[in-house]
Structure 1
Amino acid sequence: MIQVINRALDLLEQIANDPERPKALGDLADSLNLNHGTCANILKTLVARGYVEQIGTKKGYILGSQSYTLTANEAYRKDLLEASREEMDALTQAINENCLLAVLKDNQRIAIYRTFAEQDLQVRTTDIKPIYDSASGRLLLAMLPKEKIQRFIAKYGLPSDESWPEVQSETQLLDSLALMRREELALQTIANRHVMGLAVPIYKNGLVVASLSIYLPEYRYMAMDKQKLIASLRQCAKNIHKRLN
């Protein structure tokens, strides 16, 4: 048997015993009689591949989205899903537009739940999308602490002209993100598709854990009461927050 594979599987099983409760590196290593350095290296690989997710620098590790994807298990972020389904279904019924719940993973936003309207023309977006390419991704990035935003920019660079044409420099990017953070709202116009995206944050215990967004054709957005639409989106996010807390 290959020892490092066994150790990686042991770590996954240990985390999966209680997948939503973060487990510290030291606790994981000690429970499996692993050298702390060896354990850290294995976890680093599992995090990079998406099978494990690190919650902060000290809180520990939980299962990542890829672990659930392997079994087509919708339990990823189970608390979020349980709190969001009913509220998002109600929002879609009220406004008759598609809604999306998403979380941040590296330089991507990952959709973990969707609702669909009964419109003849609907806007569909992929489950995984680069952060800069979506209102939900931009909002999640904007709500990160400033030092994490700087690390993100240093690692992944600025958006391309195609993904975010309004942003041409780091200063413009930081200004745009700061405005989203202040307003707790991201608006995106996808001109070549005539699509509008709107996103707001969802909080749990004072931290932003997800984004709630609406995507719709631009012509329907322009004909709507925009303030009422945004208010409905914000209210849904608040209702999810109450259920989470």
Structure 2
Amino acid sequence: MIQVIHRALDMLELLGSQPDRVFPLREIAQMLDLHRATCSNILKTLADRGYVERLPGRGGYRLGTLASAWQGLAEHDREISRIARPVLGLLLQKLDETCLIGVIRGAQRVTLECAASDRDLQVRSRQVRGVYSTASGRLLLAFMPADRQATFIQRVGLPEAQVWSEVRSAEDLKKALAGIRRQKLAVSHSPEHVVGLAVPVWRHEQVVASVSVYLPEVRCTPGHRKQIIAALREAGDRISQELTASAE
């Protein structure tokens, strides 16, 4: 029963992240790693209670009228996007590498805003990725409150070896997340030879997002990596300051 509640909340968070969008059943099931029949049954219950609206003519679901409280989550995400957008633009000018700001919604890392490099060899980041497979997802998981983090890991399980090769056990994951918190920096290396680097974005004492840079491994020289980390920390601090000021 508790697992069903978590899944229902994951669905509401996902739909609430883009309240005006209609999500096909197939996409919801894929993004939340659920069997389509299970996903359909939960959505039907949420629709019956008014938390989700089913749109047969448009082939999908969106947030319902009784989920108005979740609109605050979407407003929160839009505020982060608005504040981060010019900072990401400056970061792109400085580094000429793809940079983005992301959050965790359900079991996925969702991109709120992206500034893409136009180099011939560049990284194109999908809007939705697995938490373990991205530097920003790992960082956000590391700073997640302990109870939520434990629940997430219990539901999702450990990362696959090809996704996070250094993590082979629960103890490995615990140490890796502790290291990310200590350094306030996460680094990922994908099988496609893409390097990701991510730092936290704070609002008061809470990490609410992550700003990150993704680039081909061949360009991640020691000197460029050092430049990226310094620029990321500066961008993260600036977004954090503006977010905190906007809440006062």
TM-score over 0.5 for the alignment? yes
Q: Aligned runs of 1:91-170 on 2, under 5 Å? A: 91-170=91-170
Runs of 4+ in structure 1 displaced over 4 angstroms? 43-46
Once residues 201 and 82 of structure 1 are traced to their aligned partners in structure 2, the CA distance between those partners, rounded to angstroms, is: 17
Once residues 168 and 151 of structure 1 are traced to their aligned partners in structure 2, the CA distance between those partners, rounded to angstroms, is: 19
Once residues 168 and 8 of structure 2 are traced to their aligned partners in structure 1, the CA distance between those partners, rounded to angstroms, is: 35
Once residues 8 and 189 of structure 2 are traced to their aligned partners in structure 1, the CA distance between those partners, rounded to angstroms, is: 36
**Corresponding residue of 1:70:** 22
Which amino acid letter does the alignment assign opposite residue 230 of structure 1?
I
Shift of 1:68: 3.5
**Corresponding residue of 2:34:** none
Once residues 45 and 184 of structure 1 are traced to their aligned partners in structure 2, the CA distance between those partners, rounded to angstroms, is: 30
Shift of 1:44: 7.8
The 3-state SS of whatever aligns with 1:64 is: helix
**Corresponding residue of 2:183:** 183
- CA offsets per residue over residues 75-118 of structure 1, 9 Å max, x none? 66121011100111001001111101111112111011100123
Distance 1:143 1:48, change over 3 A: closer
Once residues 182 and 65 of structure 1 are traced to their aligned partners in structure 2, the CA distance between those partners, rounded to angstroms, is: 29
Once residues 156 and 48 of structure 1 are traced to their aligned partners in structure 2, the CA distance between those partners, rounded to angstroms, is: 12
Once residues 212 and 138 of structure 1 are traced to their aligned partners in structure 2, the CA distance between those partners, rounded to angstroms, is: 12
| TM-score normalised by the chain length of structure 1 | 0.72
The 3-state SS of whatever aligns with 1:149 is: helix
Once residues 232 and 171 of structure 2 are traced to their aligned partners in structure 1, the CA distance between those partners, rounded to angstroms, is: 29
Distance 1:194 1:243, change over 3 A: same
Once residues 110 and 132 of structure 1 are traced to their aligned partners in structure 2, the CA distance between those partners, rounded to angstroms, is: 12
User: Does 2:174 align with 1:222?
Assistant: no
The 3-state SS of whatever aligns with 1:144 is: coil
Which amino acid letter does the alignment assign opposite residue 177 of structure 2?
L
The 3-state SS of whatever aligns with 2:137 is: helix
Once residues 81 and 66 of structure 1 are traced to their aligned partners in structure 2, the CA distance between those partners, rounded to angstroms, is: 13
Tell me if structure 1 keeps the 8 A contact 2:135–2:197: yes
Tell me if structure 1 keeps the 8 A contact 2:10–2:107: no
Once residues 226 and 148 of structure 1 are traced to their aligned partners in structure 2, the CA distance between those partners, rounded to angstroms, is: 31
**Corresponding residue of 1:212:** 211
The 3-state SS of whatever aligns with 2:200 is: strand
Tell me if structure 2 keeps the 8 A contact 1:64–1:76: no
Shift of 1:149: 1.8
Once residues 22 and 102 of structure 2 are traced to their aligned partners in structure 1, the CA distance between those partners, rounded to angstroms, is: 19
Which amino acid letter does the alignment assign opposite residue 216 of structure 1?
L
Shift of 1:147: 2.5
Structure 1, unaligned runs of 5 or more: 1-42, 54-62
Which amino acid letter does the alignment assign opposite residue 194 of structure 2?
V
Once residues 127 and 107 of structure 1 are traced to their aligned partners in structure 2, the CA distance between those partners, rounded to angstroms, is: 13
**Corresponding residue of 2:194:** 195
**Corresponding residue of 2:11:** 49
May I ask how many residue pairs the two structures share in their alignment? 191
Once residues 80 and 143 of structure 1 are traced to their aligned partners in structure 2, the CA distance between those partners, rounded to angstroms, is: 18
Once residues 97 and 126 of structure 1 are traced to their aligned partners in structure 2, the CA distance between those partners, rounded to angstroms, is: 15
Which amino acid letter does the alignment assign opposite residue 21 of structure 2?
T
Q: What's the C-alpha RMSD, in Å, of the aligned pairs?
A: 2.4
Shift of 1:173: 0.4
**Corresponding residue of 1:81:** 81
